[in-house]
Structure 1
Amino acid sequence: MTFSSIIRTLGRSPLATELLNKLKRHRYVQLNGLARLPKGLVASALAQQEGRSLLVVTATLEEAGRWVAGLEAMGWQTVHFYPTSEASPYELSYSDESEMTWGQMQVLADLVEKRETNANSKPIAIVSTERALQSHLPPPAAFEPYCLTLKRGMVQDSKILDRQLASMGYDRVALVEMEGQWSRRGDIVDVFPVAAELPVRLEWFGDDLEQIREFDPSSQRSLDKVERLVLTPTNFNAIIKAVLAEKKVDEINHLGSVDTENETEKFVRRLLGLAFEKPASLLDYLPENTLVVVDEPQGCEAHSDRWFENAEQQWKNCERESVVADGGTEKLPISHLKVPKIHRTFAESMADVAGFDRLELSELAEDSTTKKFQSSAEGDQLPSAINLASRPVPVMPHQFAKLSQMLREERDRGFTIFLVSAQPSRSVSLLSEHDCPAQFVVNPRDYLAIDKLQLQHVPVALKYSGLAELEGFIL
């Protein structure tokens, strides 16, 4: 939480007030001239100032990972990485990416829990690629009934839980060691949710759920207590098959229970568009007041266009395969079903984003990087881009005399100065030797001390030892 005080200072600045007013008027603000670190600080300041959740959309998984590392130090209680695939939803390999599906389930479980406990939930940050804007999920109304919420002290027939876990795709084993498994020993049920980092142990007394504890899968020893748990299905196939069965799609009746080793299961995910007239994207699961940030819109569009071309080709291949297999085979009767088109262009995805307050961020200071999206959902003209003209601090390795001189100059110009260092005490000592007094604040949330130092125009030093790539900047 190193940057909490910096975000608080930004959130109370005239800049943040002006940007928030523009968001309220137009539901859209485009900012240019920002490097990665100030992008995260400005986006977090605007979202946290109004208690909003944050969704950051990037062009690549690598850039998404960098955003996650930065946001974890910016005052967010929870930062989720929502994984996406380079494959199209029509490729059979798409169904094999269980790790990706489990990562998505982890985010969706948190969002479902926020819907159920809306009054007490705290804002969260989610980072993903532009692929998360594609239609690739069942609608929330179809997904939520397949989620099981367990709370300590609840009353339920514990035997019903066995059937629920089986219907959600969990495998019964003697000893739980990996995701998607569960076991029972008398009144103790062990489950490894695909949406959690650790398995949980449910301790029942009759029909009363007395305790929920995490446990170590290697030693099987109980760890921390958990008050509430949301269990999700192991994949989306069970939901798709149930809806298709209700629609009386005969080929689905040839499939047995969920079995990831079964060849026919790989075809089920293709039929998302057949099960639902309008499949959902991650946007459909977000709280209404979420602030959506699109990082480098041009880069997002370029990556989306390449993926769209591949998806279009794969969809046409599926159509040809369904025609060839139209006679059906006893082995794969499902393979001749016509696969509906669910992929869409970046412009169509951005039309859904327009339903949220959104921020578009670019590092290059240009007049407009997204002219084709410069209109609101109602067709109103949107404001032009704002150039914040952030500039990097020159790299000065071991040159504290030059650094001190630069800090004094910026201080005299009225800038608020924060020093972020892995060794803040040493940095403060060296700066003091060069006639630039600074103060190390151990607790980055000690706002009274930080406010006092800022009134005295004393640079504030903060300790950071995380994994984010940091570069000094002047905003």
Structure 2
Amino acid sequence: MSNQENLIKAFQEDPRLQSLVAGWQEKTGAVHTLTGLVGSMESMILAASYLQNPRTFLVVAEDKEAAAYLQNDLSGLLQPKIIRFFPDSFKRPMQFEALNQNNVLLRTETVNRISLAGEEGEIIIAYPEALFEQVVSPEELEANRLFVKVGEDLDVDTVISLLGEFGFRQEEFVYEPGQFAIRGGIIDIFSYGNEYPYRIELFDEEVESIRHFDPMNQLSVREIRQVSIVPNINSRFNREQKLPLFDILPEGSVVWIRDYQWTIDKLQECFEKAESFADKLSKSEEEDLAELFRDRAFIRPGAVLESLE
């Protein structure tokens, strides 16, 4: 057993951690306050408590940088467990002028993973600006997918029409989420819910093969049997189809907030800035951006407590 494993085991055997985990198992919605955490102690407690009683954890750090550090710590402590990073949709937090499509991809993928999580759950690291934007409910996402499977027929015209409805743009080559390209019997699609784009090869109308490929060098990453294409969550869905991230967490999930009042204050700041930006948004702005702010699909600070109850 490594030194790291011994250390985690020592935390697991600590009566205070055992009491904390026992409180989660009672499903009473109890609130616990932890003080005096220094250095990597928080990461050790999170890792030890997850291993003691696996379930979905949502951890809210104070900002994007702190969230990234925490993700890195937990990835090292819990490998090979994948620690999900849940960012805001923009190139910089609270700078609403430009969307970051890779961030949109990560948000969509996280919602996907939450909806598919088994008994071991998912560990999601977020920060206030990321929580501010509501997410598509898993049910809506499930109802708006394009499934493609090797050996089944696929009509190219139908694919073009459906991808257009999903908010995808046809390009000569794909290099970011939300794009697709068609060359003869080859369809490249960069979905909003996956790290790599898909290359679908057709023989007449039958799907002959499906591969992930690297858009930088066009080389195949791996071959797969089926794919699920999900739409642009910002433009495809309206406010009525979106929920706070808290509301899609499985029953019994643990929400770990480093500084509750700081989180509420940042959400209030986000709300005020978003309202001001939305009022100034011109019709000439990027379509995805305009759709997002037109619906005002944001969480109000007071709704956080309601979601956690």
Partner of 1:260: none
Partner of 2:114: 111
Alpha-carbon deviations, 1:198-250, whole Å to 9, x = none?
A: 2222234455544332222233222222355432213421333xxxxxxxxxx
Partner of 2:193: 195
For residues 11 and 3 of structure 1, the distance between their equivalents in structure 2, rounded to whole angstroms, comes to: 12
1:156–1:207 contact (8 Å) kept in structure 2 = yes
Cα–Cα, structure 1 residues 281 and 220, in superposed 2: closer, same or farther, change >3 Å? same
Deviation of the 1:155 alpha carbon? 2.5
For residues 175 and 348 of structure 1, the distance between their equivalents in structure 2, rounded to whole angstroms, comes to: 42
Report the secondary structure of 1:72's partner residue. Answer: helix
1:352-363 aligned at under 5 Å gives the runs 352-354=307-309
For residues 103 and 17 of structure 1, the distance between their equivalents in structure 2, rounded to whole angstroms, comes to: 33
From 82, 92, 98, the counterpart of 2:86: 82
Deviation of the 1:168 alpha carbon? 1.5
For residues 16 and 74 of structure 1, the distance between their equivalents in structure 2, rounded to whole angstroms, comes to: 17
Partner of 1:298: 261
Cα–Cα, structure 1 residues 198 and 341, in superposed 2: closer, same or farther, change >3 Å? closer
Cα–Cα, structure 1 residues 6 and 226, in superposed 2: closer, same or farther, change >3 Å? farther
From 37, 51, 60, the counterpart of 1:48: 51
- TM-score of the superposed pair, with normalisation by structure 1: 0.53
Partner of 1:136: 134
For residues 37 and 288 of structure 1, the distance between their equivalents in structure 2, rounded to whole angstroms, comes to: 28
Deviation of the 1:111 alpha carbon? 3.0
1:8-407 aligned at under 5 Å gives the runs 8-25=9-26, 26-27=28-29, 28-76=31-79, 77-84=81-88, 85=90, 86-87=93-94, 93=97, 96-112=99-115, 114=116, 118=118, 122-134=120-132, 136-151=134-149, 153=150, 155-159=152-156, 160-205=158-203, 208-240=206-238, 272=239, 276=240, 279-311=242-274, 313=276, 317=279, 343-354=298-309
Identify the structure with the greater strand proportion.
2
1:133–1:349 contact (8 Å) kept in structure 2 = no
Report the secondary structure of 2:304's partner residue. Answer: helix
Cα–Cα, structure 1 residues 169 and 52, in superposed 2: closer, same or farther, change >3 Å? same
Alpha-carbon deviations, 1:355-395, whole Å to 9, x = none?
A: xxxxxxxxxxxxxxxxxxxxxxxxxxxxxxxxxxxxxxxxx
For residues 227 and 122 of structure 1, the distance between their equivalents in structure 2, rounded to whole angstroms, comes to: 25
Q: Percent identity?
A: 20
Deviation of the 1:53 alpha carbon? 2.0
Deviation of the 1:3 alpha carbon? 4.6
Deviation of the 1:54 alpha carbon? 1.6
Unmatched 5+ stretches in structure 2 = 284-289
For residues 297 and 181 of structure 1, the distance between their equivalents in structure 2, rounded to whole angstroms, comes to: 39
Partner of 1:7: 8
1:55–1:293 contact (8 Å) kept in structure 2 = yes
For residues 134 and 309 of structure 1, the distance between their equivalents in structure 2, rounded to whole angstroms, comes to: 11
Alpha-carbon deviations, 1:48-87, whole Å to 9, x = none?
A: 3222122111221111111111111121521221112544
Cα–Cα, structure 1 residues 230 and 294, in superposed 2: closer, same or farther, change >3 Å? farther
- Compute the RMSD of aligned alpha carbons: 3.5
- What number of residue pairs does the alignment pair up? 293
- TM-score of the superposed pair, with normalisation by structure 2: 0.78
Report the secondary structure of 2:237's partner residue. Answer: helix
Deviation of the 1:20 alpha carbon? 1.4
Cα–Cα, structure 1 residues 205 and 340, in superposed 2: closer, same or farther, change >3 Å? closer
Deviation of the 1:339 alpha carbon? 6.3
Report the secondary structure of 1:238's partner residue. Answer: coil
